[in-house]
C-alpha cells in the first residue's frame, strides 16, 4: 500500500470532525470517498495534503511517515497535488502561467506545460487565455494540469466536478480519468455525489459523520451496504 492512513482523528477545539480513519490506497489506483456534506471529506484531504495535522494517527507514503500528532512533513515537500473544489486558478495569470506556477524556471518548463495540457486534453490554443475566458470544465482540467505538472505521486481531488453543469460533468470526468490513468498517479477523489464516486473510483469508501464506515470495490459496496445508513445514502436496497 503506497498511501496509508492509520487511525487518523481530527478535532478543532471541542469539535471532533474525523474519528479513527484508516484507509490505504495502492499505487496507481483511484479511490473515491463518498459522504454527505459536512462528513469530513475536505478535512481528510487537507490532512493528507499537509494543510492540517492529525490530532491522532499517522499518514504515511511508501512507508515514510508524513504526519503524526507531533511532526509533519510540510505540504510542498510531500509530492502530493491538490485540486480544490473550484479549481482555485490564479485569475490574473494565463493558462500557461497557472500550469507553470509550481515548476522551476528551466528550459524544459514550457515543454512540460504543453505535455500536461496534452495529458488533460486541453487545446494548446488556450495557452494564453485567462481563467475567466475558459469554460468550467476547461478550468478544472487546467487545475488538474497544474497539479500534475510537477509529477506528484499522489493527486487529491476535492469535489472537482460539483461546480459543473451536468452536460459538462461526464465529459470532464472522462478527460480527467484518462489523464490520471496515462500519468499513473495515485488518486483520491472525495464527493457527495454517489454516481460520480461509483464511476470514478476503482475502490470506494463511504464516510459518515467523520468515520469511514465501509470500503471496497464499488460494486461490492453498492450491492452489499453494511448498514441502513450506507444503503440509504447510496440509494440502494439493504
Query: What would the grid cell of residue 33 be?
Result: 470517498
- 18/66 with CB nearer ligand ADP: 18
Q: Please work out the total of residues on this chain that contact ligand ADP, with binding judged by CB under 6 A.
A: 11
Q: Does 15 help bind ligand ADP (rule: CB under 6 A)?
A: yes
41 binds ligand ADP (CB under 6 A): yes
Which residue lies nearer to Mg ion by CB, 72 or 191?
191
Question: Is residue 35 at the binding interface for ligand ADP, with CB under 6 A as the rule?
Answer: yes
- For 119, other C-beta atoms within 10 Å of its C-beta total 20
Residue 39, binding choice from ligand ADP, Mg ion, none, Cβ under 5 to 8 Å by partner class: ligand ADP
Contact status: 14 vs ligand ADP (CB under 6 A) = no
Q: Do the Cβ atoms of 149 and 97 come closer than 8 Å?
A: no
Instruction: Give first-to-last CA distance, the chain, whole Å.
Output: 30
* E strands, 62-182, in order: 64-67, 80-83, 154-158
Check binding of 162 to ligand ADP (CB under 6 A): no
CB 16 within 8 A of CB 10: yes
Chosen residue from 4, 9, 19, 42 binding ligand ADP by CB under 6 A: 42
Cell numbers found for residue 27: 499505487
Q: Could you give the angle at the alpha carbon of 148 between the alpha carbons of 91 and 5, nearest 5°? A: 110
What distance in Å separates the CA atoms of residue 79 and residue 153, rounded to the nearest whole number? 6
47, containing H or E segment: helix 41-49
Cβ neighbours around 72 below 10 Å, total = 19
Tell me: does residue 160 bind ligand ADP (CB under 6 A). no
The option from ligand ADP, Mg ion, none interacting with 139 (CB < 5 to 8 A, set by class) reads none
Minimum gap (Å) between residue 93 Cβ and ligand ADP:
27
Among 39, 140, 187, 191, binds ligand ADP (CB under 6 A): 39
Q: Least distance from C-beta 42 to Mg ion, angstroms?
A: 3
Does residue number 54 form part of the binding site for ligand ADP (CB under 6 A)? no
Q: Are 105 and 99 in contact (CB under 8 A)?
A: no
User: 166 contacts which partner out of Mg ion, ligand ADP, none, CB within 5 to 8 A by kind?
Assistant: none
Q: Tell me which residues touch ligand ADP (CB under 6 A).
A: 12, 15, 17, 35, 37-43
Amino acid at each position: 500500500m503506497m498511501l496509508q492512513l492509520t487511525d487518523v482523528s481530527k478535532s478543532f477545539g471541542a469539535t471532533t470532525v474525523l474519528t479513527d480513519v484508516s484507509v490505504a490506497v495502492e499505487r496507481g489506483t483511484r479511490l473515491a470517498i463518498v459522504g454527505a456534506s459536512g462528513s469530513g471529506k475536505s478535512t481528510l484531504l487537507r490532512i493528507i495534503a499537509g494543510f492540517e495535522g492529525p490530532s491522532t494517527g499517522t499518514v504515511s507514503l511508501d512507508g515514510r511517515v508524513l504526519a503524526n500528532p507531533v511532526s509533519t512533513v510540510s505540504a510542498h515537500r510531500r509530492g502530493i497535488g491538490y485540486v480544490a473544489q473550484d479549481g482555485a486558478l490564479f485569475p490574473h495569470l494565463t493558462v500557461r502561467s497557472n500550469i507553470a506556477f509550481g515548476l522551476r524556471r528551466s528550459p524544459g518548463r514550457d515543454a512540460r506545460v504543453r505535455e500536461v495540457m496534452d495529458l488533460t486534453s486541453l487545446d494548446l490554443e488556450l495557452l494564453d487565455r485567462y481563467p475567466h475566458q475558459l469554460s468550467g470544465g476547461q478550468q478544472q482540467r487546467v487545475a488538474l494540469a497544474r497539479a500534475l505538472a510537477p509529477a506528484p505521486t499522489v493527486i487529491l481531488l476535492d469535489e472537482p466536478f460539483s461546480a459543473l453543469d451536468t452536460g459538462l460533468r461526464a465529459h470532464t470526468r472522462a478527460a480527467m480519468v484518462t489523464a490520471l490513468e496515462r500519468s499513473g498517479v495515485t488518486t483520491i477523489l472525495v464527493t457527495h455525489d454517489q454516481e460520480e464516486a461509483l464511476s470514478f473510483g476503482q475502490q470506494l469508501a463511504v464516510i459518515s459523520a467523520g468515520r469511514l464506515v465501509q470500503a471496497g470495490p464499488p460494486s461490492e459496496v453498492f450491492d452489499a451496504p453494511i448498514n441502513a445508513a450506507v444503503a440509504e445514502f447510496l440509494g440502494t436496497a439493504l
